[in-house]
Structure 1
Amino acid sequence: MAKQERARRTREKVLTAAAEAFAVQGYDSTTLNTVAERIGMTKGALYGHFPSKRSLARALIDESRHAWTSLHAAYDTPDADAAEVLEGVVVAFADRLRSDVRLRAALRLAVHHPGLAPAPCDVLAEMHDALTDLVRRAQRDSGFPDHCPPLVAELLLIVIRGLLTTAEHADDSSAYDNSPAINDGEPLWRLLFTALSAGPAPTPALP
């Protein structure tokens, strides 16, 4: 058991080091040596946990999928109001981006290198589908305005991706925390959901 726990802790350190390296150098410029050096490992020891840079990236992306599904499940309880679930899960996920470098790195990899993720692990597609379903349920059960559900889901993901790119080239604590949109995202989300709750804009009359 002690050996398994050491292996688990080492794996966690490797994933965090990889996320930090991907954030600073980008996927293409990061090597296994770069990751190993960040935590004082040899490249050979690192191979014992991850045989390639691609496997590291895939592990991070898969981890982000589990983060999303766990968060979604925590908010989407049987008696929960769908509109409140929609806002709550989006705000909570965006808030977690502030403190979780691994989640930020994983989503950037999913956005900029979609071919890295295995087909069953498209976290962005899963998020889009889940958000679309929540919008439909909120319209049916909670009086949410009649916007196009896939369009609302895409808008929410666009804002999340925008938060990622705010600190894309300098993902250190000072650069990330000094961004107003990321440091205090609540006003941004309140504004967005208030606008969405106002209902669809009227269709302009044809001349």
Structure 2
Amino acid sequence: MAKQARSLRTHELVLDAAAVEFVRHGYPRANLQHVAARTGLTKGALYGHFASKEHLARALTEHLDEVVGEILARHTATDLPVRERLRALCRGLAERVESDVRFNAALRLVLEEAPAGPEPPKILADLRALATEMVEGAVDGAEAGQALEGATPAAALADLATVILVGAYCTAPDLERRGLAERVHELWDAVGEGPQAVRGTVAR
């Protein structure tokens, strides 16, 4: 039992060390020797926990998917206006980037890989899908007479949430993304309160 607990602690230590390496250098320039040095392990001992850099990256992106699922679920059950729900959702994701080095590393990994992939990263697809669902739900629930000419289409408002989060992340002044949540909040303010409506409804 003690051996198993020690192995688990080492496993977690390796993940944290790998996350720091990926945050600082990205996938191509990440060096497993540096990861081993941070943990006090030999490179051979490191391979006893993760067979390759790819396996480490996969473990981190699995963590990302799990956490994103929890955060997205948390923001589906709220009575806030749609715009405020999207703002809160983006800020929640940004706060997790700041507080969780594994989440930060995994987000960098998936965004680095995105241009070469046939589809957008899962986190962005999931964020956009939930944002669209929020907006369209507001449209479906609107009462007659609430429609406004020139209201923002659902897809555009959903894309705005994605653009704000990714834009703030990619232009953050340091790799730890300190202050990211506040920057996300400020970007939502910068796009203004209007148009507050999504096509066919006022954002409740």
Instruction: Give the TM-score normalised by structure 1.
Output: 0.75
Structure 1: tracts of 5 or more residues without a match: 201-207
State yes or no: 1:126 paired with 2:126: yes
Q: Over the residues paired in the alignment, what is the CA RMSD in angstroms?
A: 3.1
Percent identity of paired positions between Structure 1 and Structure 2: 34
The amino acid across from 1:96 in the alignment is: R
State yes or no: 1:171 paired with 2:170: no
Contact 1:32–1:53 (CA under 8 A) maintained in structure 2: yes
Contact 2:164–2:187 (CA under 8 A) maintained in structure 1: no
C-alpha deviation, 1:192, in angstroms: 3.9
Higher relative contact order, structure no. (Cα contacts within 8 Å, ≥ 6 residues apart)? 2
State yes or no: 1:14 paired with 2:14: yes
Contact 1:61–1:123 (CA under 8 A) maintained in structure 2: no
Q: 1:133 to 1:37 in 2, by over 3 A?
A: same
Residue 158 of structure 1: aligned partner: 163
SS of the equivalent of 2:49 reads: coil
Residue 149 of structure 1: aligned partner: 154
Report Cα offsets for 1:1-50 as digits up to 9, x if no partner: 44443333222222221121112122111122121112211112211221
Report Cα offsets for 1:92-129 as digits up to 9, x if no partner: 11222222222122111111114999x9x822222222
C-alpha deviation, 1:196, in angstroms: 4.8
Residues in 1 aligned to 2:167 and 2:115: alpha-carbon distance in whole angstroms:
21
Structure 2: tracts of 5 or more residues without a match: 200-204
SS of the equivalent of 1:106 reads: helix
Contact 1:22–1:30 (CA under 8 A) maintained in structure 2: yes
C-alpha deviation, 1:68, in angstroms: 0.9
Alignment of 1:100-119 (within 5 A): 100-114=100-114
Alignment of 1:22-33 (within 5 A): 22-33=22-33
The amino acid across from 2:29 in the alignment is: S
Q: 1:182 to 1:69 in 2, by over 3 A?
A: closer
SS of the equivalent of 1:28 reads: helix
Residues in 2 aligned to 1:16 and 1:144: alpha-carbon distance in whole angstroms:
50
C-alpha deviation, 1:191, in angstroms: 4.1
Equivalent residues, number: 191
Residues in 1 aligned to 2:192 and 2:52: alpha-carbon distance in whole angstroms:
42
Residue 194 of structure 1: aligned partner: 193
Instruction: Give the TM-score normalised by structure 2.
Output: 0.76
SS of the equivalent of 1:147 reads: coil
State yes or no: 1:68 paired with 2:72: no
Residue 205 of structure 1: aligned partner: none
Residues in 1 aligned to 2:162 and 2:100: alpha-carbon distance in whole angstroms:
18
The amino acid across from 2:187 in the alignment is: L
Contact 1:97–1:104 (CA under 8 A) maintained in structure 2: yes
Residues in 2 aligned to 1:116 and 1:50: alpha-carbon distance in whole angstroms:
25
Contact 2:164–2:184 (CA under 8 A) maintained in structure 1: no
